[in-house]
Structure 1
């Protein structure tokens, strides 16, 4: 079971890398007002959602303690991120505030995962 959990952790990290990487590649464009949500950001957020749900299930099945408050907050942030990216995915230009909010929420999700023990 541990190998399977580690596999999903790796896939979860790949999802966060796609989401954050897409954001970081658009930083210069955000400064110019031409930033857009790239497809990798949507796919990364969806990967995070699927692998995160799988990780919670696998950890509970393996009788590990799961901090449901932490998971609930991370899920809420991810749903907001996913909603913003999904709704605005076809627009050529995204408002700087909205684009920045997705980046900040993504980083908040990372820091909650790492620092909240």
Structure 2
């Protein structure tokens, strides 16, 4: 089983779901009860995403839905979709935490990525 993959232009799979849950726990985003429901910034959203280098003003200006709970078909829990999910994915790749596998939706989590996800979000994923 693949622990990390993309769903269009955002992170999915076990890592995507774990990151969504961690962002809710850290009050960076608000949880939603409905599938594909809108997600808003939480009380600490500016700080959490700012630490990662995301320009939330630029993300909000995009001509697409800001953020939503995207149903993860493998994990049966949401991961972060929308402009915010795409911007976060781009930042994680730029930082070298994830490496996209050419010709597939599978991604590799680098050792640096595993360390930083643990450090910033308390995320540890069983990859087996």
Give your verdict on TM over 0.5. no
Higher helix share: 1
Given the two structures, how large is their TM-score scaled by the length of structure 2? 0.30
Higher RCO (C-alpha 8 Å, min separation 6): 1
Instruction: State the TM-score, normalized to the length of structure 1.
Output: 0.32
Return the structure number with greater strand share: 2
Larger Rg: 1
